[in-house]
Amino acid sequence: MISRVIAFAALSGPLPKLGVVALGGLVAVLLLAADRRPKALAMLAALALAPVLLLADIWHSPQLATIHRHPLVALAAAVVAVAMLVALAVLIARHPALLGALVVLALPFRIPIEAGGTTSNLLVPLYLVVAAGALAFVVPALRGAPNDTTAPGWLERLLALYVVLYALQAVYSSDFQKALQQMVFFYAPFALAFCLLRRLDWRGPLLRRCLGLTAALAVVFALIAFAEYATKTIILNPKLVVQNDLHTYFTVNSVFFDPDIFGRFLALVMILLVVVLLYSRRQREQLAATGVLVVLWVALVLTLSRSSLVALLVGSGIVAALRWRPGRALIVAAAVVSIGVAAVLISPKTFGFNQGLNGASSGRAGLVSGGLRMFGERPLWGYGSASFVAEYRDHHPSTSQTLAASHTIPITIAAEQGLIGELAYVALLAAAALLLLRGARSDGARAAIAAAFLALVFHTLLYADFLEDPVTWTLLAIGASLAVSRPVAAERGTRARELSAVAG
């Protein structure tokens, strides 16, 4: 009994809140530091602090019962895990480009873990890869390796601002426990991944290999989805099994727990392949991209994710606008939208519009209106980070217990963080869009990253997860790296031509 009281006091007292603020500050340092040593120290401190905060949060979770009963076994497992981490870090240190491939490989895979009384699907393989990559960076940096980091730009500054604000506004949140988990599970490790991926040279073989790996994963996941549809069996997510039993249609999710997340993944991969189709001059690459696109399109339709289908349309339209004249892309987009509107008008029941806007949006319209009312009550500072679900249920007691978010990121931020967080979010989007779109018209790689990122942003307007999705940080890191490497390469080329002229 006493131990439970102490644990409750430790979680609800000032120490965890100070820890979350400190973790936000460490994230800001590693994003903003231009020199290797302070960046490495911030990485090391974040790697140490995040697990401490997590253990304080889940110490009495049933999944840790084995550790309480058999501490020696837990210690042996920890030693094995550290040994694996060190071995992977050594491999990454010898082959830095391997980090990019490993991150891309780990992005889709989630493992259900109970924390704070709820089960979350966490990116455990990605955490392992990021920790190993951080260790591979920290050790040489502390030993005095030459400084090779890049000065932070507006993107890094605004990412740091957003994370620090989130940590500070977690202090007065009505659901501090969830805010702590968001910092530990998402913002801190993904910021580490961003800094590590940002340092890699993505122009050339690495980007092509990662695209091939992503496309191969998508095909495998699509084949699993086909098997689900053929056998009417869902591999993961018991809730989806119940939903399929209640409806005449059948929704697939492959290895993902949510059909919309699976649909988002497929849509983003398809946008990257559309760029290959439009920019590549090799017939073999175009034929391969076309074949993969057909497979992924069928799988995307089977997810029944309307938000992912629209995100694909948005991303493809951006690619077309960058590749050709914007007027032609707008004409094609207008034609597609007109066909969609006509389909809805002809058969509104098929798309759920016979139930009104709230029914067609699976209840999301009501969540949006409720979130706007919450914003109106506290327009400046909001109810605190990660508080949307708790506050919405408090305002609407009859709300379904399956409610997870507003499914509209700007509304979630407005309700939780008020104008303070909303302005930081808008500024971050503007800086990211300007960085990624600058020079993208003449560069297929940058066009792909820009289109995929903007499609993802659009998807967050209809679903959820912006900076809580590691794909966001990965696209930003690759885009920032490409934006810097291009001017450097151009400058080197100019100098080479000048030297040739002088020599001639």
Average pLDDT over residues 226-247: 75
Task: Look at the alpha carbons of 448, 451, 453, 455 in this order and tell me if their dihedral is positive or negative.
Answer: negative
Residue 304: predicted pLDDT: 87
Q: Do 150 and 227 reside in the same domain of the chain?
A: no
The residue out of 116, 134, 156 marking a domain boundary is 156
Residue 179 lies in a domain: no
Are residue 209 and residue 319 in the same domain, yes or no? yes
Confidence band, pLDDT 50/70/90 cuts, at residue 56: confident
Yes or no: say if 259 and 240 are a contact pair by the CB < 8 Å rule: yes
Residue numbers of the domain that contains 17: 2-156
Q: Who has greater pLDDT, 392 or 164? A: 164
Token output for 439: 């020079």
Q: Does a structural domain hold residue 198? A: no
The answer to whether residue 474 scores a pLDDT higher than 60 is yes
Pick the more confident residue, 499 or 83: 83
Separation between Cα atoms, residue 460 and residue 447, nearest integer Å: 20
Domain-embedded: residue 36: yes
Residues 151 and 210 placed together within one structural domain of the fold? no
In a shared domain, residues 139 and 72? yes
How high is the pLDDT of residue 436?
Answer: 96
Residue 153 CA from chain centroid, whole number: 21
Q: Are both 215 and 143 inside the same structural domain?
A: no
Q: Is the pLDDT of residue 191 over 60?
A: yes
63 or 463: which leads in pLDDT: 463
372 & 272 share domain:
yes
Same domain, 216 and 315: yes
Average per-residue pLDDT in the chain?
83
pLDDT confidence of residue 425 = 97
| Arithmetic mean of pLDDT, 409-431 | 96
If one counts the domains in the chain, the total is 2
Same domain membership, residue 98 and residue 21: yes
Could you tell me if 7 and 134 lie in one domain?
Answer: yes
Residue 299: C-alpha distances to residues 222, 254, 296, 469, 498 (Å): 5, 9, 5, 21, 52
Asked if pLDDT for residue 443 goes beyond 80, the answer is yes
How confident is the model over 295-353, as pLDDT tens digits?
Answer: 999 999 999 888 999 999 999 989 988 988 766 666 666 665 666 566 556 655 544 44
Q: DSSP labels for 226-260? A: HHHHHHT--SS-HHHHHHHHHSSS----TTSS-HH
Q: Say which DSSP state 202 is in.
A: -
Share of the chain above pLDDT 70, in %: 77
Residue 384 banded pLDDT, cuts 50, 70, 90: very high
Q: What is the pLDDT averaged over residues 61-80? A: 72
| Greater model confidence, 398 or 221 | 221
Q: What are 122-151's pLDDT values in tens digits?
A: 888 999 999 999 999 999 998 877 776 678
From residue 202, alpha-carbon distances to 141, 208, 218, 376 in Å are: 22, 9, 21, 44
The answer to whether the CB of 411 falls within 8 A of the CB of 372 is yes
pLDDT tens-digit series, residues 155-179: 999 999 999 999 999 999 999 989 9
> What does the pLDDT read at residue 235?
78
pLDDT at 76: 82
Does residue 146 form part of some domain?
A: yes
pLDDT the model gives residue 400: 58
Residue finishing a domain among 156, 174, 196: 156
Per-residue pLDDT band at 469 (split at 50, 70, 90): very high
Indicate the burial class of 79 (C-beta count within 10 angstroms; 0-12, 13-18, 19 or more): exposed
Asked if the structure places residue 182 within a domain, the reply is no
Note the pLDDT of residue 232: 86
Give the predicted TM-score (pTM) of the model. Answer: 0.87
pLDDT of amino acid 385: 95
Task: For residues 294 and 428, state if they share a domain.
Answer: yes
Please check whether residue 175 lies inside any domain of the structure.
no
pLDDT at residue 80, rounded to an integer: 86
Mean pLDDT in residue range 356-365: 51
Q: What is the pLDDT of residues 238-295, one digit of tens each?
A: 666 656 655 667 888 888 888 999 999 999 999 999 999 988 888 888 999 999 999 9
- Residue 187 included in any domain: no
Kindly state whether residues 386 and 310 are assigned to the same domain: yes
Rg from Cα positions in the chain: 24
Give me the mean pLDDT over the 40-60 stretch: 86
Same domain, 366 and 436: yes
pLDDT of residue 348: 58
The DSSP letter of residue 443 is -
Is residue 63 predicted with pLDDT exceeding 80?
Answer: no
> Mind spelling out the 3-state secondary structure of 56-119?
HHHCCCHHHHHHHHCHHHHHHHHHHHHHHHHHHHHHHHHCCHHHHHHHHHHCCCCEEEEECCEE
Last residue of one domain, picked from the residues 94, 121, 156: 156
Cα–Cα distance, 477 to 483 (Å, whole number) = 10
Q: Please provide residue 199's backbone torsions phi and psi, each rounded to the nearest 5 degrees.
A: -80, -20
Residue 195 falls inside a structural domain: no
